[in-house]
Structure 1
Amino acid sequence: MTYARIAMLAFLAGTAAAAPAMAQVSPLPCPMPNRDAGGRSNIHTRAVETNLLSPVRAPGDAPSSLAARMRLYGVPGISVAVIHRGRIDWARGWGVRDTASCAPVTPETAFQAASISKVATAVVALRMVEQHKLSLDGDINLSLRGWHLPGDAHLAPQGVTLRQLLSHTAGLGVHGFAGYLPGAPLPTTVQILDGVAPANSMAVRSVLPAGAQFQYSGGGYVLTQLALQDATGLPFAELVQRELLGPLHMTRSAFAQPPSPDILADIAFGHVAGRPVPGNYHVYPELAPAGLWTSAGDLARMLIDLQASAAGQRGHRLSPAMARAMLTPVKDHWGLGVELYTTAPKRFGHDGVNEGFQSFMIAYAEKGEGIVALTNGGQGRRLIDEVVRAVATDYGWTDIAPPAVPEKRLPLAVLARAAGRFEGGGLSVRLEARPDGLFADAGAPSPERLAALSPTRFFSHVLGVVIAFDAEYASFTIVEGGPPMRMVRSTAAPSASGKDR
């Protein structure tokens, strides 16, 4: 399961208990390595080391150090790469690869990218479309040799398409995957799709009408994996190496599950409660949705290539037209393999969670700026969000993360405009305006009071997510701390008191 889903479910429930990523963490046993161990330092890296803040800054609050925040959130190690003016401005690590050896994170340390793997998969799939080996809008079954997605005359009378698979609009089930212990029997791609032993996930089948709505499905990406293998005759990992990783010199990246000797030479272990997970990491044969080992710098190289193509430059992995298609919304805030932030200036990216790993990347679509951050345990996304804020403040990227501000005290009349029931992605939350603030309530015993950052932006201390309302308060979107999921006001209007009728 990705952090995206965990965060939204917990936000809707109004309780920290619903969010495993927010659980208490154990103290870390390793001291912070010497600064030089993580790579080169400069004025920008020192800003990260000394200027971490949440979105809300209380009067008199001083910025926290990175080392203190890593201890607070129980994060053993973090790797960061920053894109500036179309190139990698800097990349380095902090903390340790694992709490057994206490070896430092370096710019070359490989982490599990988790669901960010889907972006690499989408680039390769779209290359195959441009090479006329796959159809973007034809029935995916026509590209399969042996196994076929069982037909569903009611939910998918025309089958499902690659465009739908990449944008999570195919109506397929199986949100994510738990992985396997190293050495355990691994299922084949077909066994994963059919949900048969030794697979530990359900069968990938139609559960909603194809093309009608967004429904996040890692299972759909396993189907894409099979289609790529059948269309090219190459194993998925070999295909991605040939079409993406090799040409972009992503030398610390591989869809190698379990990891190859090259990756193992400088690898981060996944951690839970301050200790390496059993086996040090889970193995994900579901390569396309979850199987990429990579460094922050390598992911930055992929983002830079996409930015260049979207800007009209030729000679990159995708043509300018295909890159722009990838970054065009298909449904809500999702393009072909990427999350989209559609308010100007446009941004794109992805986040991800595998057992013991959390990751996030975001970049501008129309200029060469962006950031990648990878962590190996604890409340990694909470730390990532504060690192992103520090970098965004340093570089002036206020669209990605505005500087921290004091909490605003808004009049009840303003809060009442935000009150009501909001729905999206099969989820629902009721926001209630009270004299002391705006409260998120989904039936939990203790609704959370959201901190107002402005009349239209609110912050959940429990989840670390920022939501932003549109000008008419007809919907809100998560703009920090999770994917850009949009929730729309239901037709049942709130009463004058702010409660549903």
Structure 2
Amino acid sequence: MRTPTVLTAVAGLVAATAATGLMPRAPEPGPRQSGDADLAATVRAAIDDPRGLRGIAVASVDGGRVRVAGIGDRTPGGPAVEPGTPFEIGSVGKPLTGMLLAHRSAAGAVDPDDRLRTVLPEVTGPTGEVTLAELASHRSGLPRLPTGPATLARTWWTSVTAGNAYAGDDVDRIVADARRAEPDDDRGAVSYSNFGASLLGQGLAAQAGVGYPELLRRDVLTPLGMTDTVVAADPADLPGGRAEGATAGGRPADGWTGAGYAPAGIGVWSTAEDLGRLTAAMLAGTAPGADAATPRFDDEAGRRIGYGWFTSRYGDREIVWHNGGTGGFRSYVGYERATGRGIVVLANTAHDVDALGLRLLGVRGDAASESTGLPGWIGAGLALAFTFLGGLSLLGTARRGADRLSVLSAAGWAVLYLGLGHRLGDWSVVPGWIWPLGAALTGVAVALAARRWRDLPVVAGAPPWRRWTGAALSAAFAALAVAVIAA
């Protein structure tokens, strides 16, 4: 074997060996646990694949008895999850808003058929004509979120960077968005809408003359003894001792806060203990606004919806439920009236727990997953593409590159692509050992480029100014990529 070939192979081997120490690893629940030991063991046995999970808090309700347990860690290598550890619950907050409607309707303060404009006069135009019941049951015809280039760009960016998707969305902003919005032709059919749920909650709060967090605390949380459930309107309001959110691949994720979307579950934190109390009270029919769970309208696939709560059939079994998902958390609350059993599952990664919740209820099936951020197949694609793309590009440039400038640019991008793959890839779907293979390919390409370096001019081909301009633009894009990695 020729010496250059041996050196190239060695370069690839060295790169792969060095990269093994940095190999991305999806989180898994650690061995620590707290609370009811039997429940913790049951939860571990029900997890079909632990990759992508880190910490889990669970409450089990059976015949009015509530048991709670925690497994895994709040943060990487940090404190253990306990039954009282606060988790971001996302859209599990929507049923709480639905319960507010049912409770205030029973008290005669509002009527479900009232128009939005009667409780929130600032909302004029077509959106003001939708009813409170339509908002509570996702039948308003309003979009999931207000549409527009800025919203789409922010949604994409926060999905990539695991940032706060609702930063700056206060009450004034969603009211302004509501004045510009128009229900579509699907009004009357169930179409999930964070926007609609938020307008409902803000309208109820305005009619009551208080802010949404205060109304929720006064009418629902305090009567149920849910003292550890809070609405964080901004980062300063986040509860102490909370779990840290992360993507399914393990990347830290910012908490979602935005006062305008609080009624949709944005910024709502709770514990397995508190949600266990909620579930027990819903089963007993003693929760304020418990009638919100009564199924009133048909949804797809045989599912029905009340005010925020869904009801699904699995054979001869009927489960009332809702789930939640943010950039770094997943949640599931479900119960079965016929058996008096209920379950709460909270997790501090963006790994769906709906199926786990159903298994813990003894049901074989799937709840409708509320996926947020990048879908799993996109995260897997990013892992594979970025891991190998840079090395392949540099390999081609090393063989055909006309000058040092092109080789240097390709080498820089090869390293950056590896970093992007490590940072953005969903390594709970793609095996982490693939990343060192990409590093090996890059190492081989760097070795080939080094062999050609002396024989290449600094700049060749197009006019030098054009080549240097292209290099400057490439460096600018590289700086943006670094910002994505660091974000």
- In 1, are the aligned partners of 2:57 and 2:70 still within 8 Å (CA)? yes
Quote the residue 1:41 is aligned against: 37
2:60 aligned to which of 82, 89, 108: 82
Aligned-pair identity in percent equals 24
1:290 aligned to which of 251, 259, 265: 265
Query: Does residue 351 of structure 1 match 2:329?
Result: no
Letter in 2 for 1:188: D
Counterpart CA distance in 2 for 1:239 and 1:282 is 21
Counterpart CA distance in 1 for 2:342 and 2:364 is 11
Query: Does residue 116 of structure 1 match 2:92?
Result: yes
Aligned length: 325
Higher alpha-carbon Rg: 2
- TM-fit CA distance, 1:183: 13
Query: Does residue 141 of structure 1 match 2:117?
Result: yes
Quote the residue 2:439 is aligned against: none
- Taking the TM superposition and a 5 Å limit, the aligned residue runs for 1:44-59 are 44-53=39-48
User: Aligned to 1:48, what secondary structure does the other structure show?
Assistant: helix
Query: Does residue 190 of structure 1 match 2:172?
Result: yes
2:297 aligned to which of 303, 327, 330: 330
User: Aligned to 1:274, what secondary structure does the other structure show?
Assistant: coil
- Taking the TM superposition and a 5 Å limit, the aligned residue runs for 1:11-410 are 26-28=24-26, 32-35=30-33, 38-42=34-38, 44-53=39-48, 69-70=49-50, 72=51, 74-88=52-66, 90-99=67-76, 102-145=78-121, 147-151=122-126, 159-175=129-145, 186-195=168-177, 204-211=181-188, 213-258=189-234, 264-272=239-247, 273-277=249-253, 280-285=254-259, 286-291=261-266, 292-309=268-285, 316-318=287-289, 323-324=290-291, 326-332=293-299, 333-342=304-313, 344-378=316-350, 380-381=351-352, 385-386=355-356, 388-389=358-359, 391-392=360-361, 397=362, 400-401=363-364
Counterpart CA distance in 2 for 1:296 and 1:227 is 29
Counterpart CA distance in 2 for 1:182 and 1:342 is 35
Distance 1:78 1:185, change over 3 A: closer
Runs of 4+ aligned structure 1 residues displaced above 6 Å come to 182-185
Counterpart CA distance in 2 for 1:365 and 1:387 is 16
Counterpart CA distance in 1 for 2:115 and 2:312 is 29
Unaligned runs of 5+ in 2: 1-22, 367-428, 430-487
- TM-fit CA distance, 1:214: 1.2
TM-score (ref. length: structure 2): 0.60
Greater helix percent: which structure? 2
Counterpart CA distance in 2 for 1:149 and 1:342 is 39
- TM-fit CA distance, 1:26: 4.1
Query: What is the RMSD of the two structures over their aligned residues, measured on CA atoms?
Result: 3.1
Distance 1:363 1:51, change over 3 A: closer
Unaligned runs of 5+ in 1: 1-24, 54-68, 197-201, 310-314, 404-461, 463-501
- In 2, are the aligned partners of 1:192 and 1:203 still within 8 Å (CA)? no
User: Aligned to 1:225, what secondary structure does the other structure show?
Assistant: helix
Distance 1:203 1:98, change over 3 A: farther
TM-score (ref. length: structure 1): 0.59
Counterpart CA distance in 2 for 1:80 and 1:238 is 27
Distance 1:401 1:75, change over 3 A: same
User: Aligned to 2:231, what secondary structure does the other structure show?
Assistant: coil
Counterpart CA distance in 2 for 1:51 and 1:185 is 36
Counterpart CA distance in 1 for 2:94 and 2:101 is 10
Greater strand percent: which structure? 1
